[in-house]
Structure 1
Amino acid sequence: MDGTLLMSYLQSLRSENIQRIEVVPMAGADEDAIMQGGAIYIWLRQMKEKGWQGNTSLFSSLSSGFQQYEPHVTWNRLQGKWNWYGSMSMIYQPQADGILDGNRIYTDNRKSFTSEGRFEDPSDYETCQNGLVYTPDDKTNVGMEIEYIRRYSSRLMHSHSLLEAEEGWMESLGDYRQVDHYQMVTGSFSFRHQLDTLGSAWHILVDYTQKRSNGDNRYDICWQYPSGMSDSIYRTQSRMDYRIASLDAGWKWFRGKTNYGQVGLKYTFTQMKDKAGSDGWSETSSWIPIPGYDYALDYHEHIMALYAQYAFDWKSLSLKAGLRGEYSQTSDRTNVIQRSYWDFFPHVDVTYAFDKLRRRMLVGQYARYIERPAFSALNPNRVQTSDYHYQIGNPALKPMYTDRLNLTFVYDYRYTLTIGCNLNRDLIRQFTKQDPVNPDVSFVTYENHNRENHWFVALNIPWQPVYWFSWNSNWVGVRQDIRVYAENHFQTHYLYFGNATASFFLPWDVRLDLQYTGSSRLYSGNSEVNPRHTLDLRCQKRWGDRWSVQIGVDNIFNQFPGYVARLDDYIHVTDYGAKSSGRLFKIGISWNFNAGRKINKMAVEKDSSSERDRLTKQY
């Protein structure tokens, strides 16, 4: 779950059923090295009485060219030693329109280019999850879970372009239909046995994911010149199959309430098989193959990991240190590219408390991570978005490495000031280039950039002067140093990000939230994202613990993103006016249901979520 669905689920939790909340800013050695972010663990109190518990909600987002509906239901049933849980949700977008307009500033001022695009991008996304956990005694639980995800989208782009030069002009009209649908199934098994009352335990986790994706694209183009007209029709059909299997076994032992050690091993196998064929419509009214646009990719990964970590408290000092070693073997059998390498990922977390109540603390953290390419970035399928622009993946991408170092001062539990750096090597970035055959055509691909370092300071300021008003703000300043290729010099940019929320707790259980989000101009390779500032307004009314209704408007001032790409011969400026990014009116209703005592949801532990993200991630 994410977005409004996640918010709805979190709001359904009652505070008396929450035992504790643990915030982990950096993933430790026991987590995948690909997991660069942190985690928030919500530990629920375990109730033994049988009963039902669940939440159902419906949220919608509307604008003049956009409709989205999100029904969702989650349930949990405890009966004796059996715990059955599940959820079903849908994100249905019957309408998702927008504009994509661009122009170029040529170094040769005798040329000019403008383009207009209008697109329709309806889609639907469904997911269903069912799990069963058996607890024969207080120390053991065995669980199985299956999850099914389906997505379908049909994007239609109408493009009009005009290129003028000293030698003449060319006008083109194009219709580009891109149909994409996939199905993904994940099966998970978990076994955990507790060894003592402190929490010592050993576990075995098994996951298997299979995703099958099909694409059916068709392009109809008409060109007009001073001397006449011509047209062309061609299509591309693709099929992509992905499989991910993982096994994780670990042992955790406690020596006291806060001192513990942990060791484990994990193996992950990934397979990607893609193929596509292209045809062109001939004068004989038949489809003729276009071999130059065909491709096939057979890609395999084997990742074997060993990890160990230890944590202890001593007076005012807390320390957690770990090391993860990973042996990776990748094989691109189509292009005969093979790599095998060892990587080590240390993690150190040190906390010093200045007082016994830990109201003032100093926290230092260091960790090293890896980010393997998303499968969409590896896929060499060429996707045309207009007569003068296309996108294509890069099977030769290498993984990206990040060293993160943070130092945080915590005051009065709430206020935090953090300074730190993220040192990135072989950063995976989108990069815009000119087509070598026709320089007036540009394309976006993915590259490994040599270095990109972020030096930052972050400040979090919560404030509640009265019981009916609270203010929470986060401000981040970044110095970004970019070196695209090893022979280049570093380019330096200064960035800022801001987020502030003002909440008003009104009578009759009404809550009003006003949220600001903003960022400066952002830089990536030879591309830029224009500054953007948005303001959202939400109002929520609750009736006890069962019902709540929410209405609001996002992006009140209707601010859209814009992009700039700087190439050798021209600067390309794009205005992206997707209605989903503009002003949206939102309404939602949520109902919590239960029978008997509130119960603790015992879910099957899964260990492949970070690898699964590569199946759907977009840069």
Structure 2
Amino acid sequence: MSKLITSFFLTSSFFVYGQKSIDDSIIIEKQIQEVEVVGKRKLIERKIDRLVFNVENSITAIGGDALDALRTTPGVRIQNDQISMVGKSGMSVMIDDRMILLTGDDLVNFLRTIKSDNIKSIEVITSPPAKYDAEGNSGIINIKLKKAKEDSWSNTIRTTAKQATYSSFSAGNNFTYQKNKLDILLDVSASKDQNIYTNDINYFYPTERWINGIYNKSDADRLSGIFNIKYNASKTFDIGFQYLGNSGILNKGEESTAKIFDLKNLELNRTLNAIGSTRNKSSNHSFNLNMVKKLDTLGKKLTVDLDYFTFKSNKDNSLNSENFDRATNNILLENIDNKNVQKINNFSAKADFEMPFSWANLSFGGKVSFTETNNNIDIYRYNTSVVPPSLIFGQSDEFTYNENIQALYMSANRKFGDRWEVKVGLRAESTQNEGYSENVNQTNTNNYIKLFPTLYLSFVPDHENTLVVSYGRRVNRPSYSNLNPARWYLTANSYEEGNPFLQPSFTSNLELSHSFKDLLTTTISVSRTTDGFGQLTTHDLENNFQSFIRRNYYDYTNFLWSEYINYNIFPWWNTSAEASVYYTETKAYSPYLNPKYSGWGGYFSNSNNFTLNKKKTFSAQLTYEYNYPTIFNENRSEAYSNLGIGLKLLYFEKQLQIAVTANNILGSDRVKTSNITQGINQSFRQYYDTQFVRLSLSYKFGNKNLSIGKKATGNEEEKSRTN
């Protein structure tokens, strides 16, 4: 802990007390008018319900992309090209207030097509207002683009090659068009990814020690596309349509070994080896029809969204195992076959009104959502040591789950003079769900109505400081697959099961933030989660099995202190740093765990951007992240870090971009966690193939300033729960 605090204060002291005046560095005689316009807007603005990072005023806007801009945005973490928010378990990305329905690599590749020169600002919404779904302890990142030129088009071709343990490739094309009243966006991408995953596991049983090793290699082929069209029918009415699709095939080879030692004499008693393969063919399609009607010239408007989403996954897994007992020289051969077909359909409709008045700004609306899921699972475990093979375990189940949600919300905000502003909101959600398992002939129903209030209070004592206090309540519903009670084997001696009795968890967040100039942003927050659910490991000591089953088993409290600093050390060197210190406390109500867990943790990151020539066509980046040891629930994580570098070249008036990046250079990004369950000490050391070198090329032609927004859809929550 002393190391963490020392590192944090040394960093803060360097940036706060070692700063230099930046007024002289931005004065350019030939561009005085442009500098004056930009200077009217701060680099970092604190609004009542969000933080605004004005990218157009930042050095990161020169020759970069949206991912580069996000790296220096307060409260946003980019780790191994995965985007998250400090203190949040998840996040969503919007472009011009319209949700992007992509995740993982698809989202990252799409953001690389958006040039930072075309970004006006990035909004970080840590506590979403009542207008947004109450699902998830997550935040929202809203990327606001500069206004597009009329009667123009733009096309960007991109390709990426990545070398980790194995090679991966991707290619895509982004086309935008604006003519008269018509806006069109078309984006298509294809990728072939090869990755490995390893996990070194230790179980310390009363009389034995198990040393397990897992090595998986995955090969995924994916194709995704976005089509967006918007028509400005009149000065007061817009109509649009959006399609997003993604399909892919994942082939995964799986190897696992287990060496079982006697704790007394440390002799090897048994070995358990398994070789398996998994094939998963999946696809999802999303359709959105949206309409915007302006009700007057004062800002009153109505927005309507109709959405349909469908998802299908066909997963097959075959596992062959060999269990060798050295004492008896007996060999038990087994074969396990798993099959799972999952289908999800969702329809939703929502309407939002914005009604500004002289005494307050009102917004209100509602949403209905209808979801149907169907899972067919077949599991068979055979003893193949005998002829013919004998059935050890068999299970066939059809699990259906239907869920309906109705929501109403209202919010209002008002300013009191130049210093004070208040925003209050209330969202009510009524949920009815029913799950039926054919195998156990069991139906589970759940009906509840919950209220989700939001409150924001802003105080601006002067032009250099802003204080904001916010409160919000959220719900985290289980994913559809987590409710399925059927068993799915991971190795020959471990499996996971869903839990149809899972209940949603609820989180309350209280946050205080302070912004000082463009230099420093401080955040202090506390969050409280009740009925939290997660994957809990249990052990069958008699049959030597480990099971991973999700349960509601804890209440969780998190205290967070975070500092963000952005500073131009020289005109050619911009640096940003973030340090977080947090304390967690968990009360567990599982008989397998201790009743209480608590401890400190921390995170530090530093990103440096260097402009290496006067034309600003050659730049470099150096990033470093360090995660201090921490405790989350019953799990204790050791420290791990990541060092990365990058070079970027721009040619042909910055239309051609070539970038080379190296990630996890020191190989120190390996996560080790440990816990004690049922009195059994267990540890896991995982590696996600994060050490790689990547070469990216993109070429843009047409009108490079064109930008078209993507439409928000109404079923974001339902789609996020398919994972």
Which consecutive residues of structure 2, in runs of 5 or more, have no partner in the other structure? Answer: 1-101
The question of whether the paired residues in 1 share the 8 Å contact of 2:118 and 2:145 is answered with no
**1:216 pairs with one of 307, 316, 324:** 316
CA distance in 1, matches of 2:562, 2:554: 26
Deviation, structure 1 residue 164: 3.3
1:250 aligned partner:
352
1:191 aligned partner:
291
In structure 2, give the amino acid aligned to 1:190: N
The question of whether the paired residues in 2 share the 8 Å contact of 1:83 and 1:602 is answered with no
Q: Secondary structure of 2:290's match?
A: strand
CA 1:170 to 1:511, structure 2 compared with 1: closer, same or farther past 3 Å?
A: same
CA 1:428 to 1:490, structure 2 compared with 1: closer, same or farther past 3 Å?
A: same
2:8 aligned partner:
none
In structure 2, give the amino acid aligned to 1:81: K
In structure 2, give the amino acid aligned to 1:295: D
1:163 aligned partner:
260
1:490 aligned partner:
596
CA distance in 2, matches of 1:287, 1:210: 39
The question of whether the paired residues in 2 share the 8 Å contact of 1:60 and 1:69 is answered with yes
Deviation, structure 1 residue 602: 4.4
State yes or no: 1:333 paired with 2:433.
no
1:354 aligned partner:
461
CA 1:267 to 1:98, structure 2 compared with 1: closer, same or farther past 3 Å?
A: closer
Identify which range, 180-189 or 37-46, moves more after superposition. Answer: 37-46
In structure 1, give the amino acid aligned to 2:457: V
1:207 aligned partner:
307
CA distance in 2, matches of 1:89, 1:209: 20
Identify which range, 157-166 or 359-368, moves more after superposition. Answer: 157-166
Deviation, structure 1 residue 9: 2.8
CA 1:262 to 1:444, structure 2 compared with 1: closer, same or farther past 3 Å?
A: same
The question of whether the paired residues in 1 share the 8 Å contact of 2:338 and 2:489 is answered with no
1:536 aligned partner:
644
Normalized against structure 2, the TM-score is what? 0.79
CA distance in 2, matches of 1:87, 1:489: 51
Deviation, structure 1 residue 346: 0.5
Deviation, structure 1 residue 612: 0.9
2:195 aligned partner:
96
**1:118 pairs with one of 212, 215, 231:** 215
CA distance in 1, matches of 2:158, 2:547: 42
Which structure 2 residues correspond to residues 37-48 of structure 1 after superposition, within 5 A?
A: 37-47=138-148
The question of whether the paired residues in 2 share the 8 Å contact of 1:52 and 1:598 is answered with no
Deviations 1:65-99 (Å, cap 9, x if unpaired)?
Answer: 23222323222112332222121123321x32343
Between the two proteins, what is the percent identity of the paired residues? 17
2:43 aligned partner:
none
State yes or no: 1:502 paired with 2:608.
yes
CA distance in 2, matches of 1:197, 1:515: 47
Deviations 1:425-483 (Å, cap 9, x if unpaired)?
Answer: 11122211113752x32122212233100011111111212111111111111110001
1:425 aligned partner:
530
CA distance in 2, matches of 1:177, 1:527: 30
The question of whether the paired residues in 1 share the 8 Å contact of 2:333 and 2:383 is answered with no
In structure 1, give the amino acid aligned to 2:345: R
1:344 aligned partner:
451
Q: Secondary structure of 2:665's match?
A: coil
2:499 aligned partner:
394
In structure 1, give the amino acid aligned to 2:685: D
In structure 1, give the amino acid aligned to 2:460: A
CA distance in 1, matches of 2:683, 2:631: 14
CA 1:42 to 1:175, structure 2 compared with 1: closer, same or farther past 3 Å?
A: closer
Deviation, structure 1 residue 124: 2.2
Deviation, structure 1 residue 46: 4.3
CA distance in 2, matches of 1:104, 1:185: 42
Deviation, structure 1 residue 328: 0.7
CA distance in 2, matches of 1:615, 1:11: 31
Q: Secondary structure of 1:377's match?
A: helix
CA distance in 1, matches of 2:113, 2:519: 24
State yes or no: 1:611 paired with 2:718.
yes
The question of whether the paired residues in 1 share the 8 Å contact of 2:519 and 2:567 is answered with no
CA distance in 2, matches of 1:152, 1:344: 41
Deviation, structure 1 residue 285: 7.0
State yes or no: 1:548 paired with 2:648.
no
CA distance in 1, matches of 2:626, 2:213: 28
CA distance in 2, matches of 1:399, 1:459: 32
1:471 aligned partner:
575
1:567 aligned partner:
677
The count of residues paired between Structure 1 and Structure 2 equals 602
The question of whether the paired residues in 2 share the 8 Å contact of 1:29 and 1:307 is answered with yes
Deviation, structure 1 residue 370: 0.6
2:31 aligned partner:
none
Q: Secondary structure of 2:260's match?
A: strand
CA 1:219 to 1:36, structure 2 compared with 1: closer, same or farther past 3 Å?
A: same
The question of whether the paired residues in 2 share the 8 Å contact of 1:280 and 1:287 is answered with no
Which structure 2 residues correspond to residues 425-444 of structure 1 after superposition, within 5 A?
A: 425-435=530-540, 438=543, 440-444=544-548
1:153 aligned partner:
250
Identify which range, 366-375 or 5-14, moves more after superposition. Answer: 5-14
Cα RMSD, aligned residues only: 2.4
Deviations 1:394-435 (Å, cap 9, x if unpaired)?
Answer: 222111111000011111144111111011111122211113
CA 1:183 to 1:575, structure 2 compared with 1: closer, same or farther past 3 Å?
A: same
In structure 1, give the amino acid aligned to 2:555: R
State yes or no: 1:302 paired with 2:404.
yes
CA distance in 1, matches of 2:460, 2:124: 17
**2:425 pairs with one of 304, 319, 322:** 322
Deviations 1:493-519 (Å, cap 9, x if unpaired)?
Answer: 111111111221111522211111121
The question of whether the paired residues in 1 share the 8 Å contact of 2:382 and 2:392 is answered with no
Q: Secondary structure of 2:138's match?
A: coil
State yes or no: 1:31 paired with 2:132.
yes
CA distance in 2, matches of 1:367, 1:454: 15
Q: Secondary structure of 1:197's match?
A: coil
State yes or no: 1:592 paired with 2:689.
no
CA distance in 2, matches of 1:224, 1:41: 56
Identify which range, 27-36 or 70-79, moves more after superposition. Answer: 70-79
Normalized against structure 1, the TM-score is what? 0.91
The question of whether the paired residues in 2 share the 8 Å contact of 1:133 and 1:604 is answered with no
Q: Secondary structure of 2:372's match?
A: strand
2:94 aligned partner:
none
In structure 1, give the amino acid aligned to 2:660: I
In structure 1, give the amino acid aligned to 2:398: A
Q: Secondary structure of 2:721's match?
A: helix
CA distance in 1, matches of 2:623, 2:517: 24
The question of whether the paired residues in 1 share the 8 Å contact of 2:405 and 2:432 is answered with yes
Structure showing the higher strand proportion among its residues: 1
The question of whether the paired residues in 2 share the 8 Å contact of 1:305 and 1:327 is answered with yes
Which consecutive residues of structure 1, in runs of 5 or more, have no partner in the other structure? Answer: none
Deviation, structure 1 residue 526: 3.3
**2:341 pairs with one of 216, 219, 239:** 239
The question of whether the paired residues in 2 share the 8 Å contact of 1:27 and 1:36 is answered with no
In structure 2, give the amino acid aligned to 1:605: A
CA distance in 2, matches of 1:162, 1:37: 41
